[in-house]
């Protein structure tokens, strides 16, 4: 609990056996009420590791749904647990859980309902091991997306995100993609509801055991995020109706 707010960490996990423990140990547990881990039908021992660590809420998909599908289960469970503030932490140890208190307090203060951990705000992305091609693509896509979406985020591609309960309840998560582009659709949904997104500087960490989107998935993702921004632009300017943004709220 933080000032009476229930804090829930959600971990969308896929083959995270080797990095789950180090990630879990870095969580400031006195800040966090519940941890939810959803195993996306991993082929390694992610599930056993989660049980061994004593994670209370472990859910398992019987087939691999993908990163977006995994998050849908994560948020549904967090809302069921009456979370007030929900933080997604990837279990591959690429984003430090040490920022949880900073992100939580920005939301709790009522200043912003959504907070992203940004690797681009500082100068450390390349030093932290982000491959040059990913860095350049991140910058180019972010530039185009800011223009199309009329925003000023430093990156649209971080996987470190915290949400207020109200935001998750307001947006229709079920309509989103089951794949990586889900994260970008979330951004479109959040902005379309008129919310602002805060950013905190987050160290970049790429290392051997970390999981990263592959080349083919990266290409699909890049076109996917451009598609999201173009549709958002057209929708917001009344030139086209985008079903994702048009749907009445439900969660
Ligand atoms: N690749 C992949 N990751 C998944 C899936 N379901 C959940 N995840 C988790 O989603 C996180 C993000 O994926 P990752 O491959 O690390 O992408 P990155 O954002 O490029 O680092 C990881 O921590 C995975 O454990 C899935 O079906 N595929
Ligand atoms: Mg990763």
In order, the DSSP letters of 26-69 are HS-GGG-SEEEEEE-S-SSSHHHHHHHHT-SEEEE-SS---HHH
Instruction: Output the CA 247–ligand 2 centroid distance in Å.
Output: 31
pLDDT tens, position by position, 51-105: 999 999 999 999 999 999 999 999 999 999 999 999 999 999 999 999 999 999 9
- Decide which of 172 and 202 is more confident: 202
Instruction: Output the CA 240–ligand 1 centroid distance in Å.
Output: 32
Find out whether the beta carbon of 213 lies less than 6 Å from any atom of ligand 1.
yes
Instruction: Output the CA 241–ligand 2 centroid distance in Å.
Output: 33
Q: Does residue 100 contact residue 31 with C-beta atoms inside 8 Å?
A: yes
* Token output for 56: 């209370």
Structure confidence at residue 248 (pLDDT): 63
CA 35 vs CA 84, 185, 247: distances in Å: 13, 24, 30
97/91 Cα distance (integer angstroms): 10
**Residue 191 pLDDT more than 50?**
yes
Nearest residue to 107 (alpha-carbon basis) of 221, 197, 11, 235 = 197
Structure confidence at residue 81 (pLDDT): 98
Nearest CA, atom 15, ligand 1: 212
Give mean pLDDT, residues 137-154: 98
What's the whole-number average pLDDT of the chain?
96
Q: Which CATH superfamily is domain 7-246 in?
A: Spore Coat Polysaccharide Biosynthesis Protein SpsA; Chain A (3.90.550.10)
**Which ligand has an atom closest to residue 180 CA?**
1
Q: For residue 159, give the ligand 1 atom closest to its CA.
A: 19
Percentage of the chain exceeding pLDDT 70: 98
Calculate Rg over the CA atoms of the chain: 17
- Assign 1 a pLDDT band (cuts: 50, 70, 90): confident
* Helix/strand/coil for 9: strand
88/73 Cα distance (integer angstroms): 12
* Token output for 95: 């984003």
Question: Going by C-beta distance under 8 Å and a sequence separation of 6 or more, which residues neighbour residue 147?
Answer: none
32/16 Cα distance (integer angstroms): 21
Structure confidence at residue 247 (pLDDT): 64
pTM of the complete model = 0.95
């Amino acid at each position: 609990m933080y000032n009476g707010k229930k804090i829930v960490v959600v971990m969308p996990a896929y083959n995270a056996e080797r990095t789950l423990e180090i990630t879990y140990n870095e969580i400031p547990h006195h800040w966090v009420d519940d941890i939810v881990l959803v195993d996306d039908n991993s082929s390694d021992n992610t599930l056993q590791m989660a049980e061994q660590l004593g994670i209370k809420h472990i859910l398992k998909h019987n087939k691999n749904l993908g990163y977006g599908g995994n998050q849908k289960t994560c948020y549904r469970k967090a809302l069921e647990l009456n979370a007030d503030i929900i933080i997604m932490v990837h279990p591959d140890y690429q984003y430090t859980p040490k920022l949880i208190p900073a992100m939580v307090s920005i939301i709790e203060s009522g200043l912003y309902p959504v907070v992203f951990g940004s690797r681009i705000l500082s100068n450390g992305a390349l030093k932290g091991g982000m491959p040059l091609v990913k860095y350049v693509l991140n910058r180019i896509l972010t530039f185009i997306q800011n223009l199309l979406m009329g925003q000023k985020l430093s990156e649209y591609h971080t996987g470190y995100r915290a949400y207020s309960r109200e935001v998750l309840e307001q947006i229709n998560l079920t309509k989103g993609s089951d794949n990586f582009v889900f994260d970008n659709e979330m951004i479109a949904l959040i902005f379309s509801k008129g919310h602002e997104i805060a950013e905190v500087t987050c160290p970049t960490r790429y290392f051997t055991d970390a999981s990263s989107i592959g080349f083919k998935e990266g290409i699909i993702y890049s076109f996917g995020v451009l598609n999201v921004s173009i549709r958002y632009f057209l929708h917001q300017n009344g030139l086209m109706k985008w079903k994702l943004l048009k749907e009445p709220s439900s969660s």
